[in-house]
Structure 1
Amino acid sequence: MAFSLRHLIGPPDAKSRRIVTAALPKKWPLGCLSLAPTPASQTSRPGPPFPGSAPAGTAAAQGPTPARTPASSGHPSPSATAWSGFPARAGTLPPAPAPSETGGETPGGSGGGGTSPGSLPPPAAGWGGGLRERESRNAGERAAAPGSRLGGGAGTAAASPRRPRRAGRGRGLEIRTRSVEQTLVPLVSQITTLINHKDKPKRSDKTLQAIQRVGQAVNLAVGRFVTVGEAIANENHELKEEMSVACIEARRAGETIAQLTDVASLDHPESDSHITIFTDKTGVVKAARLLLSSVTKVLVLADRIVIKQIITSRNKVLATMEQLEKVSSFQEFVQIFSQFGNEMVEFAHLTGDRQNDLKDEKKKARMAASRAVLEKCTMMLLTASKTCLRHPDCESARINKDGVFHRMRLALEQVIEIVTDSRPNGENEMAPISIYSGIKEFKNKVEGLRENLYFLSKENLSTMLEVILEHTEDFTDSAYTSHEHREHILELSKQAKMELEQLVSVWMQAQNQKTKDLMEDLEVAILKTCQCMNELKREVHSAATSLAADLLKYHTDHMVLKALKITGVEGNLEAVAEYTCKLSEQKEQLVEMCRLLRHVSGTEPLEITCIHAEDTFQVTGPQIISAAETLALHPSSKIAKENLEVFCEAWESQLSDMSLLLREINDVFEGRRGEKRVYLSLPRPGKHNANLKALKPVKLDTEEQAKIAKLGLELHLLTSDVDSETEKWEDQENEIVQHGQGMSSMAYSMYLFTRGEGLLKTTQDLFHQAEVMYF
């Protein structure tokens, strides 16, 4: 039984929709019941498990991840549903009214002081640290506890920060995942179709039958849905009470809607003794809102099970990692690492499914970055642990191994922070503001003066500009910024201050007297200020991207890494020390490059990817140095050599990812974001494709499929026109047709002659054929 209303309800049939929704009455604003889906272009694609996954920040290129059903569950959980193609816009259901008619409890009214994911503080985008192990396990226990901060039922209704909760009213349920939102779409469609009808004095039998059919479909689907919810409640005792209450509310609301829509058999005018949808519209609206609220509550509670699965999987990985740290023999290490690999694969599947289901693109980017760290560190952990076991007295080997374990723990905690939408101790760390985002906000405020001269103070604009110019100091103070770029940035910063002063002067005058000349001067000042900020944005973008392009080109040969490998095998400690200094310089250059690119990334996901790249270079550099020192101390050790190779490959891989990231940043700046890359030259069949690999099938998203379908329809229409035209020429006795067929046959024979084939054997035959064609 699928845990999804999409399969249980389905869209209303065209006939019912046409009859019932003849027009929407203006006095029935039902936007509160609607979760309108966004265009299909915003759909996501499944992400892969760690092996073979795409680099962080390129989640769109990831392959499918198989859905996984918990072994302990006899019924599929929401994670078992293939979640893709969901709207990207957030949806928040309104609070349900007190169900006085149904006798049920108010959603969120039981369970005490729990709150939903909507009340949790949003996670920060920083990558500096994570939860301590004890705190993270406590978070896992809270995720599984009824009424916890992680959502559901009584604890699922989130208190609004703007107004206190009133008695008898539930609290809004914020929908954070695509699967929950898309599951509600068909239900919302059915209910909206049901209650958006005209108040006609005469109603036909078709209208009454359509209304009853939709109401019965809603009730039947809700009944099936509740059955699945009750099964989940029986298998998860910590959620049983909240899930049972939500299921009862949903069932009652569905039955109420079915009763109110039982109008097909009415042969008499409505009376007070028979309440229907035509006589009690308020009751229908209340039942609909209660139904949506309770169904959403069931889905959010079920989503907590998915969160619990991820936390449980993470705890298993952490426990096995502790055993790996304490292992003292190769045989024991091999056994434990085999178990660790299986647990990491399970964790990869769970987190991949969750990443695809997240609606927040910023969180998806953070999840992709954390999963990329875990993927790369898994191989590092293997070789670093083997090296430490082979050389237990080597300090550099121990430092190398400890660094890998520490980084994996941070990545695991980062995943849990994203999944639970929490921060350590409830703190809300804010990510640093980039120059792009600051300029965008500043321009919006300046352009807003056209509509309202009094909505902000001049101090606010001055402060915003000061913050932007303070961030430009990252460029002007950088040792890697060219002198030309530095001078241009300083000049534009000075010009921006002057333009703002002029704008404020005209703005203050316009507040006192709105003359035509002053308003024209204000418009000119606004345009000049925005133009100056655009030039500043273009200059910092040029400075960052040119530096990145130069550095990536300079380091493509990986000469320092190659030298470290050679000198390490030779056991030359002095040469290793020399090249480690050069690698440290290279690391500082790349870290500075990432910091500058973050300012011009253009989007939050790309900004997070830049932060992840900076962290990777910052951590991997010292790990390569410690691995090289270990090899230099033990030059004949194959394990130490393999370990250095793994860390060097991670460095090279990150440099390759930076090239892709730089290309994406340029695409965003030039307005090419979202376009699919195509090859300008394709291999031709024949001798040139002997070594080509087979092309992999590409999974197109819904928008691309729709475009192809539209083009196919247009091609079909054109083909029909051509066919209708050629029907006129099907007469074989038509002279023009006969001449055309003859010329076509002769031309084909001449073509075969050029290939040494066909009936024409000699040059004389060819000339004769040409004469026949000409005459």
Structure 2
Amino acid sequence: MATPDPVDPATLEIKTRSIEQTLLPLVKQISTLVSHRERPLCSDRSLRAVARVGQAVNLAVERFVTVGETIADDNPEIKQDMYEACKEARAAGSAIEKLCECAMEDSLADRGSVVRAARCLLGSVTRVLLLADIVVVKQLLLAKDKVARSLGRLESVSNFTEFVKAFSQFGAEMVELAHLTGDRQNDLKDERRRAQMAAARQVLERSTMMLLTSSKTCLRHPECPSAKENRDTVFCQMRRAMDLIHYVVKDGVLDCSESQQSYTNSQNPQQEDWDSSTVCSALKHFERLVETTRMTLLGPGCRETLTRALDTVVERTQDFTDSAYTSHEHRENILLLCDRAKLELNQLLRIGNSMENFEGGGGSPSSEMEQAVLGVLRATRDLRQQLGTTTMEQAGDLGQVTKAGQELVSTIRNLALANDIDRLQESSDRFHEYIEHILEVCKLLRHVALSESLQVSAKFTEINLRIYGPQVVTAAHTLARHPTSKIAKENLEVFADMWQWLMSDVTAVAKDVLELSQNRPEKQVYMSLPRPGKHGTTSKPLKPVRLDSEEQAKIAKAGLEMKLITSEMDAETEKWQESGSALEENNDIVKRAKNMSSMAFSMYQFTRGEGALKTTQDLFTQAEYFAEEANRLYKVVRQFSYQVPGGPHKKELLENLDRVPTYVQQLQFTVKNPTVGKAATFTKVDNVIQETKNLMNVISKVVTTCFVCATKYNLDFRGLSARGSGGSPYRGGDGAGADGEGGGAGGDGSKAGSAPGSDPSV
């Protein structure tokens, strides 16, 4: 039976929790339906149950798309796209109902059609929700634009009566914007975007009082340049915060409206300013590339990429070495470690080049190359530790610096009241030195922060301090020129309060960054596949945690998407096995693909609170075996690709195959990433499921293309092998490894005396 062309749910990224929660009932219904695919429908009762589920799905979809079409009628800008998405959802829901009715006649013989229709339904419903979210975003941006217009009116008023009226309207609109942005902040899934929204909202909230006093001071003393500077800075910073709101809501798109013209070059918001990367992220990226060489070896493009990635690391360490507050010893150590990393990388590149010359680019990593990889990783580990030590040393002085700065603010206030211009200038110069010192510490804290939210907090604390810190002195100069002005005095008090807020922010960020660095275990650097005599790839297992039903529901959609991909691959392998031809039982590609499918199914069951995987540690262990099996399948398919004649099929096969090592590495890194606390563990579970889904998706495409090539060119799979069983105690299958052997010593599913992937031929 024909079904609509599937819309891949993996390409529709969900950025908010509300959409995720709306999808959950549908995910549960489709999960119930797909679960019947795993067991035969041998009774009338089970057949009727399938039919009822199909009817329920179609009815729910019909109600859902009716709401979607109502939204479309009220919003012309999304009307066409919404109607198309609703049409796709209706067609998929109807197809599912008809296919389930057919189960009464042929016991769901066309199971692949059910899976494709389910994927299409999930994708089209997600599209409807994403289009509806555009309406929510539109409302928020309209509220933001209203506030922007009010700011423009406030900036142009020339008397107190107009100002009071305009400020009253501005206040009401700010309240509306605060509610909408608060809801959006809580709804966002991405940690970085959530922290950026919080930073923007904080600036708007804190700046409102400064906007009031600086505007009143400017109206009272229009001839005073320092009063105008205070006011203009507040307006600029508030507009910057609203542009950041736009940037977050539009997921990285800058606002190109006319308001941008009001910025000076030094204050114009840039993406690299808001989303600037850290030296630790550069190190992590470089280490991933180095790890990948174990599977891909070193091609010309890889050499260039590695060199460029290390150059980025070295460039970002300049914030440490250029700082006037970094000790000579630490500066020398950082420079020496950068040089050592370069030398170790050059050694790795030389070995890779010699292997390519002698082996024609084939084979597996030699022990010499393995030692070179470890040498690079040791160098980056030592560099990371040195950068952390340098930051801690500077942060250790933060208490004294902030205290001295606060005392200096009191001195500046008194000197302004006394109209002592000379001493005020002297104190101002010292105050700017304190600001520079604290800015340097913020910069280093951002570089070594382990979480994205802390990186964002450190970055925006630095930005706010750089812009608002000097305005304390500016407000003091206004008061010095008008020592009897009550509004000028009030204005200085408000800016002094902002300074206290900023110092509290700096102290809190430093505390959080250092505590997280000390509490989080050292990340395992040597992330190679297990060596002989060891099983698994983590040095110390995490404490097993059971997820409650709510947490399982949150990851249910990702689990279902992975399950649907798995079901499609199962249907493909079953079809090819049933056809006989050249795909014999000893076909290693089929075996390994089915083995991976079985592992993925057990991980899907975990998201439903079912199956053999009971704790998060069980899931992580299963994910490790899954990645190792994918690596072995990659090796087998690589051998098979040599038989495929040149042409579009071979090109497609190699394009998908070359993506496998990257996805394997991403999954392995995710599994090995240490976590502290249940919330972090849940995030890790979600990430592991997502990475497994991504890897499963590309493996499914590789296997399908292999079968197409084998049939078209009549190729022989026999003789292909990537030895090492790779069985897992949690596969959810028969416990046999890919080579048909049961679990080895210790019950880990590997052969006795060797670990998965330890065979030299791999």
Indicate the TM-score class for this superposition, using the shorter chain for normalisation: 0.5 to 0.7
Q: Partners in 2 of 1:257 and 1:465 — Cα distance? A: 52
Match in the other structure for 1:497: 342
Q: Partners in 1 of 2:107 and 2:175 — Cα distance? A: 53
Deviation at 1:645, TM superposition (A): 1.4
Q: Secondary structure at the match of 1:556?
A: helix
Q: Does residue 476 of structure 1 match 2:321?
A: yes
Matched-pair contact (CA < 8 Å) for 1:509–1:518: no
CA deviations 1:349-389 (Å, max 9, x no partner) are 11111122222222222222211211111111111112122
TM-score (norm 1): 0.60
**Which is bigger in relative contact order (C-alpha 8 A, separation at least 6)?**
1
Q: Partners in 1 of 2:505 and 2:124 — Cα distance? A: 45
Matched-pair contact (CA < 8 Å) for 2:41–2:107: no
Q: Partners in 2 of 1:571 and 1:559 — Cα distance? A: 18
Q: Does residue 486 of structure 1 match 2:331?
A: yes
CA pair 600-304 structure 1, distance change in 2 beyond 3 A = same
Q: Secondary structure at the match of 2:36?
A: coil
Is the deviation greater in 634-643 or in 225-234? 225-234
CA pair 636-441 structure 1, distance change in 2 beyond 3 A = same
Q: Match of 1:371, as an amino acid? A: R
Q: Does residue 539 of structure 1 match 2:386?
A: yes
CA pair 578-378 structure 1, distance change in 2 beyond 3 A = same
Q: Secondary structure at the match of 1:635?
A: coil
Equivalence map 1:230-629=2 (5 Å): 230-262=69-101, 270=105, 278-421=108-251, 422-423=253-254, 429-430=271-272, 431-455=275-299, 457-511=302-356, 519-557=366-404, 558-629=406-477
Matched-pair contact (CA < 8 Å) for 2:243–2:255: no
Q: Partners in 1 of 2:12 and 2:551 — Cα distance? A: 33
CA deviations 1:144-190 (Å, max 9, x no partner) are xxxxxxxxxxxxx9xxxxxxxxxxx9994333323223322331331
CA deviations 1:603-643 (Å, max 9, x no partner) are 43332322212211111123212211111111122221121
Q: Partners in 2 of 1:507 and 1:101 — Cα distance? A: 49
Is the deviation greater in 456-465 or in 297-306? 456-465
Q: Partners in 1 of 2:278 and 2:348 — Cα distance? A: 24
Q: Match of 2:211, as an amino acid? A: L
Q: Does residue 221 of structure 1 match 2:65?
A: no
CA deviations 1:86-145 (Å, max 9, x no partner) are xxxxxxxxxxxxx9768xxx89xxxxxxxxxxxxxxxxxxxxxxxxxxxxxxxxxxxxxx
Q: Match of 1:255, as an amino acid? A: S
Deviation at 1:416, TM superposition (A): 0.8
TM-score (norm 2): 0.61
Equivalence map 1:631-646=2 (5 Å): 631-646=479-494
Q: Does residue 209 of structure 1 match 2:83?
A: no
Q: Match of 2:18, as an amino acid? A: S
Matched-pair contact (CA < 8 Å) for 2:3–2:116: no
Q: Match of 2:488, as an amino acid? A: A
Select 1:174's aligned residue among 13, 28, 53: 13
CA deviations 1:540-565 (Å, max 9, x no partner) are 11112321230343222411111111
Greater share of residues in helix: 2
CA pair 294-458 structure 1, distance change in 2 beyond 3 A = closer
CA deviations 1:308-350 (Å, max 9, x no partner) are 1011101110111122112233333223222211211111111
CA pair 633-305 structure 1, distance change in 2 beyond 3 A = same
Q: Secondary structure at the match of 1:393?
A: coil
CA deviations 1:407-436 (Å, max 9, x no partner) are 111111121122123235699955544221
Matched-pair contact (CA < 8 Å) for 2:221–2:227: yes
Q: Secondary structure at the match of 2:101?
A: coil
Matched-pair contact (CA < 8 Å) for 1:506–1:518: no
Q: Secondary structure at the match of 1:413?
A: helix
- Structure 1 portions without partners, runs of 5+: 1-98, 108-156, 158-168, 271-275, 674-700, 708-775
Q: Partners in 2 of 1:705 and 1:296 — Cα distance? A: 20
Q: Secondary structure at the match of 2:189?
A: coil
Is the deviation greater in 300-309 or in 519-528? 519-528
Matched-pair contact (CA < 8 Å) for 1:552–1:655: no
Q: Partners in 2 of 1:355 and 1:517 — Cα distance? A: 48
CA pair 432-237 structure 1, distance change in 2 beyond 3 A = closer
Q: Partners in 2 of 1:221 and 1:383 — Cα distance? A: 55
Deviation at 1:703, TM superposition (A): 6.8
- Structure 2 portions without partners, runs of 5+: 258-268, 522-545, 553-762
CA pair 586-704 structure 1, distance change in 2 beyond 3 A = farther
Q: Match of 2:294, as an amino acid? A: R
Q: Partners in 2 of 1:331 and 1:201 — Cα distance? A: 79
Structure number with greater Rg is 1
Q: Secondary structure at the match of 2:158?
A: coil
Q: Partners in 2 of 1:641 and 1:702 — Cα distance? A: 56
Deviation at 1:215, TM superposition (A): 1.6
Percent identity between the two aligned chains: 44
Q: Match of 1:547, as an amino acid? A: Q
Matched-pair contact (CA < 8 Å) for 1:179–1:357: yes
Q: Match of 2:193, as an amino acid? A: K
Q: Secondary structure at the match of 2:71?
A: helix
Deviation at 1:457, TM superposition (A): 4.1
CA deviations 1:630-663 (Å, max 9, x no partner) are 1111112222112111112212211211122112
CA pair 200-598 structure 1, distance change in 2 beyond 3 A = closer
CA RMSD in angstroms comes to 3.5
Match in the other structure for 1:770: none
Q: Match of 2:288, as an amino acid? A: N
CA pair 517-375 structure 1, distance change in 2 beyond 3 A = closer
Q: Match of 2:512, as an amino acid? A: E
Q: Secondary structure at the match of 2:24?
A: helix
CA pair 443-279 structure 1, distance change in 2 beyond 3 A = closer
Equivalence map 1:86-105=2 (5 Å): none
